[in-house]
Amino acid sequence: MRGQPQDFDRVLSSMCTPPHPVAREAAERYLATNPGDPATYQTVADLEDDAVAMLGDIVGLDDPAGYIASGGTEANIQAVRMARNRSVSSDPNVVVPESAHFSFQKAADVLAIELRIAPLTDNYTVDLGAVKRFCDEDTAGIVGVAGSTEYGRVDPIPELANIAHRHDALLHVDAAWGGFLLPFTDHDWHFGHAGVDTLTIDPHKMGQAAIPAGGLLAREDELFDALAVDTPYLESAKQATLTGTRSGAGVASAAAAMQELWPDGYREQYETSVANADFLVDALRERGFDVVEPDLPIVTADVSSELFEALREEGWRVSTTGSDEMRVVMMPHVTREMLSAFLTDIDRLRPTVNINT
Amino acid sequence: MRGQPQDFDRVLSSMCTPPHPVAREAAERYLATNPGDPATYQTVADLEDDAVAMLGDIVGLDDPAGYIASGGTEANIQAVRMARNRSVSSDPNVVVPESAHFSFQKAADVLAIELRIAPLTDNYTVDLGAVKRFCDEDTAGIVGVAGSTEYGRVDPIPELANIAHRHDALLHVDAAWGGFLLPFTDHDWHFGHAGVDTLTIDPHKMGQAAIPAGGLLAREDELFDALAVDTPYLESAKQATLTGTRSGAGVASAAAAMQELWPDGYREQYETSVANADFLVDALRERGFDVVEPDLPIVTADVSSELFEALREEGWRVSTTGSDEMRVVMMPHVTREMLSAFLTDIDRLRPTVNINT
């Protein structure tokens, strides 16, 4: 077998993180189970019910309909599919912010619907005026992002819900990454705060579960009926997944991680991530870099491409935004020591690249 | 945490099986990796290349384009999506046998295309005359099954390829389950035998890899370009998956299992499975049950619903075909001892249910 798995000690831009030890243990124990076949694999099917109930607690829903998906991409595709199937238009469209994850582009191709991409404000949240202009009688859904991929921003979810419902469209919130941080902020983002219809939240990102564990929740079971293929009504959201055989390891790890960490462990992690973000922002500004003020703990800074390449050559796994800013995501594995080592390398490499860096 | 994972000692109808020990070890080692982000997780990205190359050996393709998918359902949806996107018709259809897996119904709904379902012959393979009648200028693809879910049958793949190409349609072979058995038979089913364009083969079924590990292969890279969303051409099939974050555990376990078991280990398993199928067929016929003559090692027998329910109450995880026949799949975990215990329970329970059983 080749090499070794990627070490996390230089991974700064991934939205994935090593699973929490209880999540790893559960993943290994349930590796040989398939929640796509609940008649055979009954215990893991029950664990999925537990996981969905706990996600409901996190996202303000008492009796959630939903399932543990392969990831946020599947959850987003399914949400758009629900909106499309429910729509009476022969040419449905979905309005999304420019900050929306690539999975919505994929969804539009797969589902053969039109995507209308609304520009952002200067603060990287969606421009509500543009959303209103893009909505029409064919609009089947609107997407709001709660924790955007590049800048960690939260769109104005209650206002988006109002616009959606005025057009008889569904509101979908993509909280794939933000969902395990936002409970500890003052943002309005979930089913309890606004007329949200569907929501993506991924245990395998900040939830510290093992891959694959995304999550799709809906306000009511009937929304999942739009995904029924061979019957008019579904007994359970789980019958409507985009896959067949599914990973019991992911489901069990999601249940184990949330049981262990919600709410106190996740709160501690939020506080640690925010403190680390503040530390890095200050340190980069002291060194003269332009840094975007974070909201959720993602730090983006204007770093020259030469310095960026030099850091990658040192083994740092960093990526950039669409505007070529370096982007660091304060996942649980990103420690103060890692950030200090990163700054040490920035200081060391900077004079060796372009003098204008 | 609830209960225990399902034991496999009474699981007779699943097409999944515990992963081979080397596959489990690889899955655990690579649990915290994401092949959907190859720039960060480079070793597992290389392992995926290895796994695809080995699948190519198995399916008669020297330089395969493909990737390790979440499962056969994703692979089948993507194959239909390729056919649809490549088609010039404004109302494309795909022709599938009645024996085709439910994933094709799901694909038709998701992709908004028409599914034309061709009836089967008395031997449970697709009726070629019906396929020819159902094909027209809007036909984008035809599906042939190599190892059908209910009866383990193999459709006439070379003839289906000819029909497909006469209509400028793609031929997709669903060998999700059959692909690791068929190399040891005389069937014509893969890229080396016929004009096959795309093929599904799942390491997490008879390949003994961990879930999630399905496989989608295409004869050439250009077929994957039909799935490109934001660029006209893809550098790699891996950019075209239906998910975002992906399971490195599944990819690594697929590579490890195939490296260990192809071809000798898989050949031994084929011989064991066939011997077990023959054993069960003979034992059930001796007891007066009608048994469908197997091709690949799935045994289906006409068992009364009362006896079937009684067996399920004893903990046997058995399921039925659409015609209510009991179905046993000779997976690696299904041993001669299990089958003997099963027959013992059949003998014990039979007199206690309906006298006409």
pLDDT number for residue B233: 77
Q: What is the pTM of this model?
A: 0.96
DSSP assigned state of B3 = S
Q: B264-352 in CATH: which number? A: 3.90.1150.10
Residue A148 token pair: 């955007």
The pLDDT confidence band at residue A232, using thresholds 50, 70 and 90, is confident
φ, ψ (nearest 5 deg) of residue A117: -105, 110
Please state the rounded mean pLDDT for residues A252-272: 98
Asked if the model's pLDDT at residue B334 lies above 70, the reply is: yes
Beta bridge partners of A328: A299
- Which residues have CB under 8 Å from B209's CB, separation 6+? B19, B20, B23, B27, B203, B250, B253, B254, B256, B257, B258
Q: In what order do the strands lie in the sheet with A319-320?
A: A298-301, A326-329, A319-320
Give the count of alpha carbons within 13 A of A150, CB side only: 20
**What's chain A's length in residues?**
357
Alpha carbon distances (Å) from B50 to B26, B169, B244, B263: 14, 30, 20, 15
Asked if the model's pLDDT at residue A356 lies above 90, the reply is: no
Q: Which of B6, B243, B245 sits opposite A40 (nearest CB)?
A: B6
- Each residue's pLDDT tens digit, A37-65: 998 899 999 999 999 999 999 999 999 99
Asked if the model's pLDDT at residue A357 lies above 70, the reply is: no
Q: What is the mean pLDDT of chain A?
A: 95
Q: Which residues of A touch B3 (CB under 8 A)?
A: 42-43, 46
Q: Tell me the shortest Cα–Cα distance from A75 to chain B, in angstroms.
A: 9
State the best of B10, B31, B231, B259 to mutate against chain A, taking most chain A CBs within 10 Å.
Answer: B31
Using DSSP's 3-state secondary structure scheme, residue B206 falls into coil
- Each residue's pLDDT tens digit, B129-161: 999 999 999 999 999 999 999 999 999 999 999
SS (H, E, C) chain A: CCCCCCCCCCECCCCCCCCCHHHHHHHHHCCCCCCCCCCCCHHHHHHHHHHHHHHHHHCCCCCCEEEEECCHHHHHHHHHHHHHHHCCCCCCEEEEECCCCCHHHHHHHHHCCEEEEECECCCCCECHHHHHHHCCCCEEEEEEEECCCCCCCECCHHHHHHHHHHCCCEEEEECCCHHHCHHHCCCCCCCCCCCCCEEECCCCCCCCCCCCCEEEEECCHHHHHCCCCCCCCCCCHHHHCCCCCCCHHHHHHHHHHHHHHCCHHHHHHHHHHHHHHHHHHHHHHHCCCCECCCCCCEEEECCCHHHHHHHHHCCCECEECCCCCEEEECCCCCCHHHHHHHHHHHHHHHHHCCCCC
Asked if the model's pLDDT at residue B357 lies above 80, the reply is: no
Report the C-alpha gap between B192 and A274 in whole angstroms.
Answer: 56
Q: Tell me the shortest Cα–Cα distance from A152 to chain B, in angstroms.
A: 18
State the best of B105, B115, B117, B242 to mutate against chain A, taking most chain A CBs within 10 Å.
Answer: B242
- Each residue's pLDDT tens digit, B111-124: 999 999 999 999 99
pLDDT number for residue B234: 78
Report the C-alpha gap between A251 and A58 in whole angstroms.
Answer: 17
Q: Which residues of A touch B16 (CB under 8 A)?
A: 32, 34, 37, 245
Q: Yes or no: is domain B21-261 CATH 3.40.630.30?
A: no
φ, ψ (nearest 5 deg) of residue B116: -110, 120
A4-8, A158-162, B13-17, B141-145: least confident range: A4-8
pLDDT number for residue B356: 58
Report the C-alpha gap between B214 and B320 in whole angstroms.
Answer: 24
pLDDT number for residue B61: 97
Q: Which of A24, A72, A202 sits opposite B31 (nearest CB)?
A: A24
State the best of B205, B247, B331 to mutate against chain A, taking most chain A CBs within 10 Å.
Answer: B247
Residue with the two structure tokens 């599919």 = A81
Asked if the model's pLDDT at residue B49 lies above 90, the reply is: yes
pLDDT number for residue A238: 83
Asked if the model's pLDDT at residue B262 lies above 90, the reply is: yes
Q: Which residue of A has its CA nearest to B51?
A: A1
Residue B133 has a CB neighbour count (10 Å cut-off) of 12
Q: Which residues of B touch A202 (CB under 8 A)?
A: 245
Asked if the model's pLDDT at residue B1 lies above 60, the reply is: no
Percentage of chain B exceeding pLDDT 70: 98
Between the CA atoms of A179, A180, A185 and A187, what dihedral angle is there, to the nearest 10 degrees? Answer: 0
Q: Which of B29, B33, B105 sits opposite A230 (nearest CB)?
A: B105
Tell which phi-psi region holds residue A208, choosing left (phi > 0), alpha (psi between -120 and 50) or beta. left
B127-141, B267-281, B315-329: least confident range: B315-329
Q: Which residues of B touch A243 (CB under 8 A)?
A: 70-71, 73-74, 212
Please state the rounded mean pLDDT for residues A144-160: 97
Asked if the Cβ–Cβ distance from A27 to B31 is below 8 Å, we say yes
Asked if the Cβ–Cβ distance from B6 to A43 is below 8 Å, we say yes
pLDDT number for residue B263: 98
Asked if the Cβ–Cβ distance from B210 to A18 is below 8 Å, we say no
pLDDT number for residue B106: 96
Q: Which residue of B has its CA nearest to A44?
A: B5
Asked if the Cβ–Cβ distance from A256 to B4 is below 8 Å, we say no
Residue A3 token pair: 């090499």
Do residues B203 and B258 make contact, with C-beta atoms less than 8 angstroms apart? Answer: yes
pLDDT number for residue A236: 82
Q: Which of A44, A109, A230 sits opposite B5 (nearest CB)?
A: A44
Report the C-alpha gap between B288 and A272 in whole angstroms.
Answer: 69
Q: Tell me the shortest Cα–Cα distance from A289 to chain B, in angstroms.
A: 24
pLDDT number for residue B197: 98
Report the C-alpha gap between A204 and B245 in whole angstroms.
Answer: 9
Report the C-alpha gap between B244 and A175 in whole angstroms.
Answer: 15
Residue A212 token pair: 């694959």
Q: Tell me the shortest Cα–Cα distance from A35 to chain B, in angstroms.
A: 11
pLDDT number for residue B212: 98
Sign of CA dihedral A142, A143, A146, A152: negative
Q: Which is it for strands B93-97 and B139-145: parallel, antiparallel or unpaired?
A: parallel
- Report domain extents, chain A: 21-261, 264-352
Q: Which residues of B touch A101 (CB under 8 A)?
A: 244
Asked if the model's pLDDT at residue A286 lies above 80, the reply is: yes
Do residues A154 and A193 make contact, with C-beta atoms less than 8 angstroms apart? Answer: no
pLDDT number for residue A237: 85
Asked if the model's pLDDT at residue A1 lies above 70, the reply is: no
Asked if the Cβ–Cβ distance from A3 to B244 is below 8 Å, we say no
pLDDT number for residue A355: 61
Q: Which residue of B has its CA nearest to A110?
A: B111
φ, ψ (nearest 5 deg) of residue A338: -60, -45
State the best of B13, B41, B90, B245 to mutate against chain A, taking most chain A CBs within 10 Å.
Answer: B245
Asked if the Cβ–Cβ distance from B1 to A26 is below 8 Å, we say yes
Q: Give exposure, B224-260, as e/b (b: 16+ Cβ within 10 Å).
A: bbbbeeeeeebebbbbbbbbbbbbbbbbbbbbbbbbb
Looking at per-residue confidence, does B3 or A293 come out higher?
A293
Q: Which residues of A touch B245 (CB under 8 A)?
A: 15-16, 71-73, 202, 204-205, 211-212, 214
Asked if the model's pLDDT at residue A125 lies above 90, the reply is: yes
Using DSSP's 3-state secondary structure scheme, residue B158 falls into helix
Q: Which of A26, A29, A72 sits opposite B244 (nearest CB)?
A: A72
Report the C-alpha gap between B143 and B146 in whole angstroms.
Answer: 10
The pLDDT confidence band at residue A323, using thresholds 50, 70 and 90, is very high
Q: Tell me the shortest Cα–Cα distance from B129 to chain A, in angstroms.
A: 26
Q: Which residues of A touch B31 (CB under 8 A)?
A: 19, 24, 27-28, 210-211, 249
Residue B136 has a CB neighbour count (10 Å cut-off) of 12
Asked if the Cβ–Cβ distance from B32 to A8 is below 8 Å, we say yes
The count of CB pairs under 8 A between chains A and B is 218
Residue B324 has a CB neighbour count (10 Å cut-off) of 12
Q: Which of A6, A211, A252 sits opposite B42 (nearest CB)?
A: A6
Asked if the model's pLDDT at residue A142 lies above 90, the reply is: yes
Please state the rounded mean pLDDT for residues A176-187: 98
A2-11, A283-292, B264-273: least confident range: A2-11
Asked if the Cβ–Cβ distance from A74 to B212 is below 8 Å, we say no
The identity of residue A168, as a single letter, is D
Report the C-alpha gap between B329 and B205 in whole angstroms.
Answer: 11
Nearest to B42 by CA among B52, B53, B30: B30
SS (H, E, C) B229-297: CCCCCCCCHHHHCCCCCCCHHHHHHHHHHHHHHCCHHHHHHHHHHHHHHHHHHHHHHHCCCCECCCCCC
Q: Which residues of A touch B77 (CB under 8 A)?
A: 242
Packed helices B72-86 and B103-111: angle between N→C axes, nearest 10 degrees: 40
What is the distance, to the nearest Å, from the Cα of residue A16 to the centroid of all Cα atoms in its chain? 10
Using DSSP's 3-state secondary structure scheme, residue B161 falls into helix
Please state the rounded mean pLDDT for residues A132-157: 98
Q: Which residue of B has its CA nearest to A241?
A: B106
- Each residue's pLDDT tens digit, B209-221: 999 999 999 999 9
